[in-house]
Structure 1
Amino acid sequence: MTAWEAGQRLDGFVIHERVHSGGMATLVRVEYDLAFGHTSTDPGFPIVMKIPRMREGDGGENIIGFEIERQIMPSLSGPHVPRFVASGDLDNLPYLVMEYIQGVTLETLLDDPSLRTPANIARIGAAMARAVHSLHKQNVCHLDLKPANVLFRTKADGHADLDHAVLLDFGLSFHAHYPDLMAEELRKAVGSPAWIAPEQVVGVRGDPRSDLFAIGVMLYEMATSRLPFGAPATTGGMRQRLWMNPVPPRVRNPEVPEWLQEIILRCLEPEAVRRYPSGAHLAFDLNNPQQVRITERGRRLERTPFWTHFKRWVRAAGMHYQPSPLPERQINDVPIVMVAIPNQDVSDAALYSLREAVQRSMGLRPGARLAVVTVLKSGLLTMNLGSNESEAQRTYLNMLRQWAQPLELDSHHISFHVLEASDVAEAILSYAEGNQVNLIIMGAATHGIQMQRLMRTVPIKVAMYAPCSVMLIKASLPFEQLQEVEEQPYDGLDVFKTW
């Protein structure tokens, strides 16, 4: 179907005005046709119908893309994708009916210079990273992320909610559990030239880090008003990203801070293994810029020399890209681990046990990230130390670093966080949810189980409501250390006794 008219009835739906018209499909607002005999006439949200373009001369991608989207969308859930309603058969009436989300695309937001500050770029980037992470946990890779396919819901005040991104258009997507129709039918690079990842150029689909590359392109554009690799029109032009580094963002915009350039250039690494391992890791850095580990990437102020690019070109000519594991499995292999360090009535046995549990958990997961967190009751941040808030923050952070110093985690990224809240358990839960934490490690309460149920201790509340796995650690010390502990109870960790 390529034509439509307002008021037309189609397969139980009444067509209204056109919402959008693109190169591959038209979106029209629809509602259920009451005369059609629907038992339910109100899905509880506005809906639109997506009608694919199938005119003579249109590419096969339109038909294949429609089939892919019709296959994938019913399996998707969560706040980062439109809700699926119905679909029509390709042989009869090809269409998709889905939730209509009122909002503004990133393509429109790019025209607003006030949103191009480092803080807003990080905020928008973190929202996109959380959205793709939700998709990857469902074993789906988008593979066509670009500003036109990222939507931010409109709030009641009319402004875009920059903290919540919705992903659109799954016509080029990959689902690990379904046949990859695009790879079967088309033996060429498929994607939008400006945002396509290097591995997609050579035909490898299904790597979630391809979506992180596309986010890096969008972050680069927000930071510099330029595309890192231009908009190539040929496969040869797209292949250049297999060996070329883009001009450092700080060269094009001196206002870009080192931490933001570090994040952007890590997303744009030609080899997927050198990028962030998951959307959650990317969102974590964007949410915590002060904890980003600055390397040569972030400090770079010169273009990559010609001979470096030439050597990479030679290497890329014979490079064989391998598909990644299932997106869900890859996420589980590089988790974000959170350890909650108590700051009152803590013994060296508890501190030792928590450290041992972290060492074991992180040692089994190369590439995992550790967040060391403590929560103070509201108003106590400066009360105990008698200093201003920034100095108190620094003191508590140093305490956390002192606790972590014996850990042998050189290959892992560790960050430290001091939170202040009236409810310790709620603060831990909120932090875990907001940062896509996969595992929480914390000390077990010393009360009996029945008493804990009555008192609702912090560990019990966290274990009951956590959005991830929780490991409760019982305090203990190895036998050979007991005498040493009696003679020198805290071995340099007595600062925790004052918490």
Structure 2
Amino acid sequence: MARPVLEPGAVIDGFRLDAVVHRGGMSDLWRVTRAGDETPLLMKVPLIKEGADPAAVVSFEMEQMIMPRLGGPHVPTFIAAGDFAVQPYIVMERIEGQSLLPHLKHLPLPYDVVAALGVKIATALDALHRQHVVHLDVKPSNIMLRPTGDAVLLDYGLAHHAQLPDLMQEEFRVPFGTAPYMSPEQLKGNRSDPRSDQFALGVLLYFFSTGVRPFGEGETLRAMRRRLWRDPEPPRKLRADYPPWLQEIVLRCLEIEASWRYPTAAQLAFELSHPELVKLTQRSERTQRDPFTVVLRRRFNTDLTAPRKRTDAAEQVSTAPIVAAAVDLAADVSLNEALRSTTARILATLPAARLACLNVNKVHRLAIDTTLDVAGQSKQVDRLVRLRHWAEPLKLDGSRLTVHVLEAVDPADAILDFVRGNRVDHVLIGARDPSLMRSLLGSVSAKVAAEAPCSVTIVRPS
């Protein structure tokens, strides 16, 4: 069957081609419309011609397989796909927004702007990883921001889906990606580790906050392989005012060994959202690259150059959840001990989990609340200290524990807002003894259990 002619006005499977909006090296993007459908649509058509790169066809096959399985605000909505026997294409939602490319004209960006962008992108990556997908081509041109502020990840031609055949890995023996953003494990042939996307985001954060790419522009495999043993210049060497907390986060994302990075993109988003709680290590203080002796050890360390086993992004996310323990400091000792005991049992099975201890300082809707107690001490500081005291027996490393005092008229709403805003996976909350007031108005634990978008465990003393 003859292929349809791709020109303005042509109709393919009910989609009318209006105009080309982008011509790329591997595909063209057309603005299209469909009768009776007011959704803004985009058609992606691969370039299949004499001398075309075979990888372009295979990557398009991958994208056709992966996109129908994705959902949520962080991916374009899939509409339809065309058969290779007639005309291959993908029709998807046309995102009303801007990519990050315009930001490149204004680098370096303010640190708070970089952190805010990082939160949005890390949140989008976490949503993708929970759907068993590693993107493997995170870069400014593949990220758009919706009018709502949500980041959208584009282009799944190089992506890996844990539940689908990886045609790119099966048919080719060279690494694929965008050179400045490729992780060390990608260069070694591992396409299944979700922390590869975290490395690429680290490159983007470094670039947007310094104006310099951490590993330069070299695109040869030899140049790219240097990042297997050579660390980048610390951002503080490039900008003296670089915040230590941001350097701590960026350099952790750029660690050569994936296991030294954050366990999940959700935990990275959490750090970027709470810079005042970032635990600083010697990473934050560095102004020089690693000494040559360290580089040599890395160069000949076969553990760093050996390929890693295939992993499932969603399974890896499930082993490193963000757990929130809502601690009522005014509750009975027995209830808080039961809550701590339950928290300890859960964390014992999840060594990469992160714990956020929450307490809500209930404020009045109309009356003016004081911030000091009768002894003249800060109520917030007192609660923070008591939360840390509650968590002390758990013996968690500082990088796995944060404490938060929230202020709200409704404690349940405050907890729910924190859970939604920080992509918490599991909430632990104590149930107070029943009373007439609670039976009439409803308890905090009941409301959290009913409305939280995650698992909730309600604890009672034995």
Please give the TM-score of this superposition, normalised by the length of structure 2: 0.94
Q: Report the residue type matching 1:23 in the other structure.
A: G
The share of aligned pairs that are identical, in percent, is 42
Tell me by how many angstroms 1:196 deviates: 0.6
| Aligned counterpart in structure 1 of residue 260 of structure 2, from 265, 274, 293 | 274
Tell me by how many angstroms 1:170 deviates: 0.3
In structure 1, C-alpha distance between the alignment counterparts of 2:333 and 2:339, rounded to whole Å: 10
Q: Report the residue type matching 2:393 in the other structure.
A: P
In structure 2, C-alpha distance between the alignment counterparts of 1:412 and 1:260, rounded to whole Å: 15
Q: Report the residue type matching 1:365 in the other structure.
A: L
In structure 2, C-alpha distance between the alignment counterparts of 1:283 and 1:97, rounded to whole Å: 31
- Deviations along 1:406-459, one digit per CA (max 9) or x if unpaired, are 2222386100111112221111111111111111011013228x9967532111
- Deviations along 1:35-90, one digit per CA (max 9) or x if unpaired, are xxxxxx22x52111111112222211210111011000000000000000001011
Q: Which runs of 5+ in 1 are unaligned?
A: 35-40, 156-160, 477-499
In structure 1, C-alpha distance between the alignment counterparts of 2:316 and 2:292, rounded to whole Å: 34
1:30 corresponds to 2:32:
yes
| Aligned counterpart in structure 2 of residue 133 of structure 1, from 126, 134, 141 | 126
In structure 1, C-alpha distance between the alignment counterparts of 2:123 and 2:337, rounded to whole Å: 33
Task: Answer whether contact 1:362 1:409 (CA < 8 A) is retained.
Answer: no
Does the C-alpha gap of structure 1 residues 207 and 110 become closer, same or farther in structure 2, counting only changes over 3 Å?
A: same
Equivalent runs, 1:196-345 vs 2, <5 Å: 196-316=182-302, 319-344=305-330
1:101 corresponds to 2:109:
no
Task: Answer whether contact 1:106 1:148 (CA < 8 A) is retained.
Answer: yes
SS in 1 for 2:19: strand
Q: Report the residue type matching 1:355 in the other structure.
A: R
Q: Report the residue type matching 2:347 in the other structure.
A: M
Match of 1:428 in 2: 415
1:60 corresponds to 2:47:
no
SS in 2 for 1:154: coil
Task: Answer whether contact 1:343 1:375 (CA < 8 A) is retained.
Answer: no
1:116 corresponds to 2:109:
yes
| Aligned counterpart in structure 1 of residue 389 of structure 2, from 396, 402, 421 | 402
Task: Answer whether contact 1:248 1:300 (CA < 8 A) is retained.
Answer: yes
In structure 2, C-alpha distance between the alignment counterparts of 1:324 and 1:462, rounded to whole Å: 37
In structure 2, C-alpha distance between the alignment counterparts of 1:250 and 1:372, rounded to whole Å: 32
Tell me by how many angstroms 1:112 deviates: 2.9
1:382 corresponds to 2:375:
no
Task: Answer whether contact 2:134 2:160 (CA < 8 A) is retained.
Answer: yes
Tell me by how many angstroms 1:304 deviates: 1.3
Q: Report the residue type matching 1:11 in the other structure.
A: D
In structure 2, C-alpha distance between the alignment counterparts of 1:249 and 1:257, rounded to whole Å: 9
Task: Answer whether contact 1:370 1:412 (CA < 8 A) is retained.
Answer: no
In structure 1, C-alpha distance between the alignment counterparts of 2:332 and 2:378, rounded to whole Å: 25
Does the C-alpha gap of structure 1 residues 350 and 171 become closer, same or farther in structure 2, counting only changes over 3 Å?
A: same
Tell me by how many angstroms 1:341 deviates: 1.0
SS in 2 for 1:440: strand
Tell me by how many angstroms 1:400 deviates: 1.2
Tell me by how many angstroms 1:391 deviates: 3.9
| Aligned counterpart in structure 1 of residue 74 of structure 2, from 58, 66, 80 | 80
Does the C-alpha gap of structure 1 residues 287 and 2 become closer, same or farther in structure 2, counting only changes over 3 Å?
A: farther
SS in 2 for 1:337: strand
| Aligned counterpart in structure 1 of residue 22 of structure 2, from 20, 23, 31 | 20
Does the C-alpha gap of structure 1 residues 233 and 3 become closer, same or farther in structure 2, counting only changes over 3 Å?
A: farther
Does the C-alpha gap of structure 1 residues 250 and 467 become closer, same or farther in structure 2, counting only changes over 3 Å?
A: same
In structure 1, C-alpha distance between the alignment counterparts of 2:453 and 2:369, rounded to whole Å: 27
Match of 1:369 in 2: 354
- Deviations along 1:327-385, one digit per CA (max 9) or x if unpaired, are 111111111110001144x1111221121111111122111111011112235863562
Please give the TM-score of this superposition, normalised by the length of structure 1: 0.87
Tell me by how many angstroms 1:189 deviates: 0.8
Q: Which runs of 5+ in 2 are unaligned?
A: none
1:463 corresponds to 2:442:
no
In structure 2, C-alpha distance between the alignment counterparts of 1:318 and 1:266, rounded to whole Å: 16
Tell me by how many angstroms 1:386 deviates: 5.9
In structure 2, C-alpha distance between the alignment counterparts of 1:147 and 1:318, rounded to whole Å: 28
Task: Answer whether contact 1:102 1:153 (CA < 8 A) is retained.
Answer: yes
Match of 1:351 in 2: 336
Moved more, 314-323 or 133-142: 314-323
Task: Answer whether contact 2:429 2:445 (CA < 8 A) is retained.
Answer: yes
| Aligned counterpart in structure 2 of residue 8 of structure 1, from 7, 10, 21 | 10
SS in 1 for 2:300: helix
In structure 2, C-alpha distance between the alignment counterparts of 1:387 and 1:125, rounded to whole Å: 42
1:191 corresponds to 2:177:
yes
Match of 1:47 in 2: 41
Q: CA RMSD in A?
A: 2.1
Task: Answer whether contact 2:41 2:91 (CA < 8 A) is retained.
Answer: yes
Equivalent runs, 1:485-496 vs 2, <5 Å: none
Does the C-alpha gap of structure 1 residues 387 and 290 become closer, same or farther in structure 2, counting only changes over 3 Å?
A: farther
Does the C-alpha gap of structure 1 residues 349 and 90 become closer, same or farther in structure 2, counting only changes over 3 Å?
A: same
| Aligned counterpart in structure 1 of residue 425 of structure 2, from 433, 438, 443 | 438
In structure 2, C-alpha distance between the alignment counterparts of 1:467 and 1:121, rounded to whole Å: 28
In structure 1, C-alpha distance between the alignment counterparts of 2:172 and 2:128, rounded to whole Å: 24
| Aligned counterpart in structure 2 of residue 152 of structure 1, from 133, 145, 153 | 145
Task: Answer whether contact 1:441 1:471 (CA < 8 A) is retained.
Answer: yes
In structure 2, C-alpha distance between the alignment counterparts of 1:128 and 1:308, rounded to whole Å: 32
Task: Answer whether contact 1:2 1:52 (CA < 8 A) is retained.
Answer: no
| Aligned counterpart in structure 1 of residue 136 of structure 2, from 136, 139, 143 | 143
Alignment: residue pair count: 457
Task: Answer whether contact 2:48 2:57 (CA < 8 A) is retained.
Answer: yes
SS in 1 for 2:92: strand
Task: Answer whether contact 2:324 2:424 (CA < 8 A) is retained.
Answer: yes
Task: Answer whether contact 2:188 2:305 (CA < 8 A) is retained.
Answer: no
Match of 1:393 in 2: 380
Does the C-alpha gap of structure 1 residues 126 and 318 become closer, same or farther in structure 2, counting only changes over 3 Å?
A: closer
Does the C-alpha gap of structure 1 residues 96 and 342 become closer, same or farther in structure 2, counting only changes over 3 Å?
A: same
In structure 1, C-alpha distance between the alignment counterparts of 2:299 and 2:398, rounded to whole Å: 29
Moved more, 311-320 or 229-238: 311-320
Does the C-alpha gap of structure 1 residues 190 and 15 become closer, same or farther in structure 2, counting only changes over 3 Å?
A: same
